[in-house]
Structure 1
Amino acid sequence: MNILVINGSSRENSNTDSMLAVLLKNLSYCNIALREYKVLPIHDQRHTRKNWETVEDDYSALIQKMVNADIVIFATPIYWYGISGLLKNFIDRWSQSLATNKKFKQDLKRKRIYLLLVGDDKPTIKGMPIIHQFQYICDFLNWNLVDYVIGSGNKPQEVKDDRMAMTKLLQLNQELLLGGSDE
């Protein structure tokens, strides 16, 4: 079981990091903290007659890690009722991969996906559009959205006080330690 974490938080020791620490305790995984990489915005060339320009950044290496993963955990704070810009930028670049790599969708199929969100101001309600967005992404890429956790927190480490989120993270940790869900 090859687990990849794609962390969209822009700060270290964030609530997102706190959630990941609980979920991933005693598990082996590869962590991509997007804040530590250079992923340029997409220059959408789908409807031009030109070949796509080569982009000099870390995207290709990161996407290869995603191809190699069995389980992908997307973790992001809720920023302005959506995912972080770091994560959105990474996902937007998939359009470039779809246009330039005929095997891209095939290479990514059958991933098991977990989604961790954290925010303030009723995140279990206001984070639901993100869950829907990821379900559409999963449907398109033939992925299984296994589960999600939405935590409440604003100040660093505050999510640790969200008992429901922490309990669910511990439950998912146990499931992953036992080999993950095959749903």
Structure 2
Amino acid sequence: MSRKGVVILGSSRSNGNTHTIVSQLQQKTGFDMIDLQQYKINHFDYELKNEDDFNALFKKLTANYETFVFATPIYWYTMSGVMKVFFDRISDFLFDEKDIGRRLRGTKMGVISCGSDNEIKAGFEMPFVESAQYLGMEYVGHIHTWIENKKITPTVQQSITDFANQLMEK
């Protein structure tokens, strides 16, 4: 497995503020980026009858990366809908093809949120922390970011740099 990481962008706007933040992280880490908007991913189905892009995407991700950074704008105080659907679909590999789901064990998970300002409500991080624990992943943290006047502030830039360094640690 590659030691490389991937940023999974879960935004309704492929080139919005969250993408701007992700681009900065990519420059500092060399991580690849997957834009979930570019894939057809249906909601979870208990009968596992989805015919979409999720299974092939998840197999590719788990075969090639050991650090996963989930980047999401904050919509209604939580992760975006497309990101939530992605997390729900991980269940496909907890019911069927469990060996694929188990590839997440021992990998790293980080989170970037992007909001309209520097405020973030308590509890935002909990679904990520608990999912990492449940999946056997090492949770390496979360940074909250925002854009002011269409620019990344020095404070946010420093957070991105610090987070990139943390992600690159062995």
TM-score (normalised: structure 2): 0.87
In the alignment, what sits opposite 1:149? 143
Q: Are 2:106 and 1:110 equivalent residues in the alignment? A: yes
How far apart are the structure 1 equivalents of 2:163 and 2:98?
A: 34
- How many residues align structurally? 167
In the alignment, what sits opposite 2:42? 40
Structure index of larger Rg:
1
In the alignment, what sits opposite 2:155? 164
Task: Provide the identity percentage.
Answer: 27
How far apart are the structure 2 equivalents of 1:58 and 1:154?
A: 35
Q: 2:61 aligns with which of 66, 79, 87?
A: 66
Counterpart of 2:169, as a letter, is S
Q: Are 2:95 and 1:99 equivalent residues in the alignment? A: yes
Cα contact 1:5–1:74 (8 A) shared by 2: yes
Q: 1:21 aligns with which of 20, 23, 26?
A: 23
The unaligned stretches of length 5 or more in structure 2 are none
The unaligned stretches of length 5 or more in structure 1 are 46-51
The residue matched to 1:16 in structure 2 has which SS? helix
TM-score (normalised: structure 1): 0.81
Specify which structure has the bigger relative contact order, considering alpha-carbon pairs within 8 angstroms and separated by 6 or more residues: 1
Q: Are 2:73 and 1:77 equivalent residues in the alignment? A: yes
> RMSD over aligned Cα, in angstroms?
2.0
Compared CA separation, residues 26 and 171, structure 1 to 2 (3 A): closer
In the alignment, what sits opposite 1:181? 169
Cα contact 2:90–2:101 (8 A) shared by 1: no
Q: After TM superposition, give the deviation of residue 121 of structure 1 in Å.
A: 5.6
The residue matched to 2:91 in structure 1 has which SS? helix
Cα contact 2:11–2:82 (8 A) shared by 1: yes
Cα contact 1:123–1:152 (8 A) shared by 2: no
